[in-house]
């Protein structure tokens, strides 16, 4: 050991800069930087693989590595204002959700888990519509906005100034012109194409606009939260109707305008579940703007709670919580499956717990199916996803690759009645870095509709064969290298 250190010391002294008088100063500075920052990373108690990856990067790239960590490294948000807002909201009618008396013991157990992890109470819905693809979602949304009387709240990751975005903006302008309060919360990165000029008519009509985590690189002393986005898609209209799911506002998801538009799924919800989604939006709005005065005004328009027939639980997750509620509920549902597990996701980069759940279900004889895009909009993610195929296929999981359009649906169907639909992909980014929202339903009718929807996708999703051709340099090596990036994707 001492011989190795002696050889390393001699080698370092052969480098001109280090061998000079400033060399020891640089070495001491490098060691101090590595110990202090590395110690702070270790104390965060994250997954060992991710922690070691960051430590190695910081050691080998002392300056570049620090810049990368400053921009993209793991962060926790102390959302004290948000927590205070939730405490206040729970004292109002917004927090008084109800649970269906028809919930099964298994559903109640999941509801308790979800409530403990998110702080949101279980609730019910009277009506849930599955909106397949963007055109159906945009038509329904614009129609409901046209009937709004009190307020329209919107939160989106992507809002682009194209034909689809312009149509929605114009509908909101007309809505605000009638005196309806319009609040629009956009992610500063995902909706970065929305210029001040494009949104000016909306602001001039009296709407309120806020940006989630705008980047301020000139404030170099403050971390820019570049890697922590709101990936949520939420619309709440008059406390009566809510929309959520995977469809953003963009021509990329409008099949009327593009033949290669994403294949996607969204929800239109009526019932008491709306107030839970209202609460999620309100917390995000308060977190970004600090404004709380609108809460009491919203609460006055709440209808009396009326239990619906569909048991529902709104799930939220983000870097402000270490419980990974959406991830946890996915894994819990899969472990509790008795007959089948059908998972549809555009990005499949599972952690150890999720892989264990899926393979255990398949090894136990359950009908486990995974539907992913043949080629997603990220080649790196596609390669990383395929690196998991061998283990899944060996356990008995049936894998289907959807094409030719990009599959963007995010849904989980377990047995006949358990359904999760939302904004969260089945990957590390959605489970840990992004602010996401999904809804867990317990309803046989909705389960039947999801079954027909997923079965219909199989026609455009050839099944992956275990004996498929996989050359070393063309397939296996790129997949293995992409998998190394899994904790960071």
Residues noted as catalytic: 231, 233, 238, 408, 410, 415
Question: Beta 418-422 vs 348-349: how paired, if at all?
Answer: unpaired
CA distances to 343, 462, 465, 478, 481 from 468, in Å = 22, 12, 5, 16, 20
Long-range contacts of 476-484 (CB under 8 A, 24+ apart): 478/383, 479/383, 479/384, 479/386, 479/387, 480/387, 481/383, 482/380, 482/381, 482/383, 482/384, 482/387, 483/383, 483/384, 483/387, 483/388
Tokens of 435: 């602010």
Q: Are 401 and 71 in contact (CB under 8 A)?
A: no
CA distances to 141, 284, 353 from 81, in Å = 31, 10, 32
3-state secondary structure of 235: strand
Backbone phi, then psi, for 418, in 5-degree steps? -95, 120
Backbone phi, then psi, for 84, in 5-degree steps? -65, -35
Residue 228, Cβ density class (10 Å: 0-12 exposed, 13-18 middle, ≥19 buried): buried
Tokens of 160: 């682009």
Alpha carbon distance 126, 306 (integer Å) = 9
Backbone phi, then psi, for 467, in 5-degree steps? -95, 25
3-state secondary structure of 413: strand
Residue 269, Cβ density class (10 Å: 0-12 exposed, 13-18 middle, ≥19 buried): buried
Alpha carbon distance 287, 237 (integer Å) = 20
Helices and strands (H, E) in the chain, number of each type: 19, 17
Report how far Cα 114 is from the mean position of its chain's Cα atoms: 16
Which residues lie closer than 8 Å to 200 by C-beta, 6 or more apart?
A: none
3-state secondary structure of 46: coil
Element (H, E) at 284: helix 273-289
- DSSP H helical segments within 372-413, as ranges? 379-386, 389-395
């Amino acid at each position: 050991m001492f011989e190795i250190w002696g050889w390393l010391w001699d080698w370092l002294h052969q480098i001109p800069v280090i061998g000079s008088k400033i060399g020891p100063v640089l070495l001491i500075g490098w060691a101090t930087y590595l110990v202090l920052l590395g110690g702070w990373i270790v104390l965060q108690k994250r997954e060992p693989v991710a922690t070691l990856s960051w430590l190695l990067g910081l050691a080998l790239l002392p300056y570049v590595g620090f810049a990368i960590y400053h921009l993209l490294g793991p962060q926790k948000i102390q959302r004290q204002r948000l927590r205070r807002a939730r405490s206040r909201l729970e004292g109002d009618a917004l927090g008084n959700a109800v649970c269906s008396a028809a919930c099964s013991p298994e559903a109640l157990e999941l509801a308790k888990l979800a409530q403990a992890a998110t702080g949101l109470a279980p609730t019910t819905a009277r009506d849930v519509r599955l909106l397949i693809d963007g055109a159906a979602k945009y038509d329904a949304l614009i129609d409901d906005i046209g009937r709004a009387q009190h307020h329209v709240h919107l939160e989106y990751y992507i809002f682009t100034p194209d034909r689809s975005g312009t149509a929605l903006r114009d509908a909101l302008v007309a809505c605000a012109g009638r005196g309806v309060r319009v609040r629009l919360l956009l992610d500063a990165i995902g909706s970065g194409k929305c210029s001040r000029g494009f949104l000016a008519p909306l602001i001039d009509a009296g709407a309120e606009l806020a940006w989630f985590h705008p980047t301020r690189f000139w404030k170099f002393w403050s971390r820019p939260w570049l890697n922590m986005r709101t990936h949520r898609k939420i619309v709440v209209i008059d406390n009566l109707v809510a929309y959520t799911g995977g469809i953003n506002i963009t021509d990329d998801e409008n099949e009327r305008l593009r033949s290669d538009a994403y294949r996607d799924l969204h929800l239109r919800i009526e019932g008491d579940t709306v107030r839970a989604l209202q609460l999620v939006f309100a917390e995000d709005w308060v977190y970004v703007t600090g404004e709380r005065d609108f809460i009491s005004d919203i609460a006055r328009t709440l209808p009396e709670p009326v239990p619906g027939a569909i048991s529902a639980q709104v799930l939220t997750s983000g870097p402000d919580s270490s419980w990974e509620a959406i991830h946890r509920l996915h894994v819990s549902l899969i472990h509790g499956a008795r007959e089948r597990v059908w998972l549809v996701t555009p990005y499949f980069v599972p952690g150890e717990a999720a892989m264990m759940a899926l393979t255990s279900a398949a090894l136990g004889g359950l009908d486990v199916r995974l539907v992913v895009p043949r080629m997603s909009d990220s080649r790196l993610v596609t390669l990383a996803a395929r690196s998991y195929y061998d283990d899944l296929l060996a356990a008995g999981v049936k894998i289907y690759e959807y094409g030719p359009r990009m599959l963007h649906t995010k849904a989980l169907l377990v047995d006949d009645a358990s359904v999760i639909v939302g904004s969260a992909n089945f990957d590390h980014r959605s489970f840990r870095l992004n602010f996401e929202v999904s809804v867990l339903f317990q309803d046989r009718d909705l389960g039947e509709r999801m079954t027909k929807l997923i079965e219909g996708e199989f026609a455009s999703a050839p099944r992956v064969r275990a004996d498929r051709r996989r050359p070393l340099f063309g397939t296996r090596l790129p997949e293995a290298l992409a998998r190394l990036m899994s904790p960071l994707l």
